[in-house]
Structure formats: structure tokens, C-alpha cells
Amino acid sequence: GQSLEQPSEVTAVEGAIVQINCTYQTSGFYGLSWYQQHDGGAPTFLSYNALDGLEETGRFSSFLSRSDSYGYLLLQELQMKDSASYFCALPGGDDKIIFGKGTRLHILP
Amino acid sequence: DGGITQSPKYLFRKEGQNVTLSCEQNLNHDAMYWYRQDPGQGLRLIYYSQIVNDFQKGDIAEGYSVSREKKESFPLTVTSAQKNPTAFYLCASIESRTEKLFFGSGTQLSVL
């Protein structure tokens, strides 16, 4: 089956950089995605890595290492509005998509 | 504007009652999904559908049913067999080219 592990909470300071890790288990690999969810809202797509390496989108970057079954989301120049939950997600070969339990990011002023 | 529309935003269920959550999309996506989210928890997959008239069970399908009679619509019924239905329900569709999921705004279901 598929499973993902990520830390339940991370705390960082405004203006700093934070990394949220995700390790996964899957029988067939089809990429790793990241989503952001603010309290009471719906998840929104941040990034998708199909191949090893770093994908950059503005202040957010996502990294994947398929050999290590590991990825991370990097948030730079943290802003208070980045306080949210972040989920890694694993697409399956049959369109089944599984999410991790989420990492709650707390940002201190 | 293209997107996913879920209704109602809030729903209350009485004991022994079936309730249906609506999900409509105008993004022309083939695959659609239903997830359940409990407070402080991740998203758990209930059902998904890759194409009209076909759907697959997710990890927590017991007590739920779905239909996919039209590409645009993927309603979820929470049956009386679901003994703990209180949760936030999210519907989504996927853009295959980018593997990007688009979510509706969700339905909060509570038990009276």
C-alpha cells in the first residue's frame, strides 16, 4: 500500500526559512505533491515533483529524492500568512491519491 | 469562473438518516474525489471516480455511497451505516496534465 509520514508541527520565525519533510512508501511511484490549507479552508496546490531534484515557485520550493523515498517543502522569507497546515500527497497509478496527516506550521513574529 | 462547487456548506444529520452532499465541477476533468477530514487530521480518501459510470473505493468507504452519472457531478451519500459521520467533507477533481487537485470549499457535516 501507500503511506506518508510528516512531522505534526513545525515552528519558525517570520522572515526565516523552514523545511517540512515527508517520507513515503509506495509500490509504484508517480510523483509527490504538496498542498497548503488554512484553517476552515480547502487545500490549495503548491507543487508537484515527478523527478528528482528541486522545483521552485516563488518563495516555495519542493525537493524529491526517489532513491530515499523522501521529499521536502522549503518555505523562504516566511510571512505570517504562511501559518497553515501543509500536506504531502502521493498519486497512485490508478488515480488514487493519498495524503499525509499534515504539518501544522506556526510562525512567530 | 471554472471550479468545484460543493453544497451545502453546513449539513445536519439525524439518527438513522441518509444525507447527500453535492459536488459539481465545470473544469472538464475526468477524475473526481471525496475526502473526509477530521479536526487536526489529514485527508482520508472515501471514494474516487476516474470516468463516468465508474468509481472505486478509497480507504474509508464503509457507510458511504457515490454515483457518477455525469462527468460534472459526483454526489456523496452518507448513509445511516456511518456511525461517526461528523467531519469536514472535501470534493476534488484533478488536472491530469499537472497532477493538480482542485478542491471545493467543503461541507461540514454534524449529527443532531
Bigger pLDDT: A63 or B15?
A63
Residue A80 per-residue DSSP state: G
The answer to whether the Cβ–Cβ distance between B102 and A31 falls below 8 Å is no
State the nearest Cα–Cα gap between B17 and chain A, in angstroms.
Answer: 26
**Region B85-91: what's the mean pLDDT?**
97
CA distance B94 to B97: 9
Please indicate if any CB of chain B lies within 8 Å of the CB of A71.
no
Over 90: is that where the pLDDT of A30 sits? no
Evaluate the omega torsion of the peptide bond into residue B8 and state whether it is cis, within 30 degrees of 0. yes
Over 80: is that where the pLDDT of A1 sits? no
pLDDT in tens, B5-58: 999 999 999 988 999 999 999 999 999 999 999 988 899 999 999 999 999 999
State the nearest Cα–Cα gap between B63 and chain A, in angstroms.
Answer: 19
pLDDT of residue A91: 83
State the nearest Cα–Cα gap between B109 and chain A, in angstroms.
Answer: 13
Give me the phi and psi of A13, to 5 degrees please: -100, 145
The answer to whether the Cβ–Cβ distance between A94 and B33 falls below 8 Å is no
pLDDT in tens, B52-77: 999 999 999 999 999 999 999 999 99
Contact partners, residue A93, CB within 8 Å, separation at least 6: A28, A30
Residues on chain B touching A43 (C-beta within 8 angstroms): 43, 90, 101, 103
Contact call for residues B23 and B8 (beta carbons, < 8 A): no
pLDDT of residue B1: 63
Listed in order, strand segments (DSSP E) in B2-106 are 4-7, 10-13, 19-25, 32-37, 43-51, 54-57, 64-66, 76-78, 87-95, 100-103
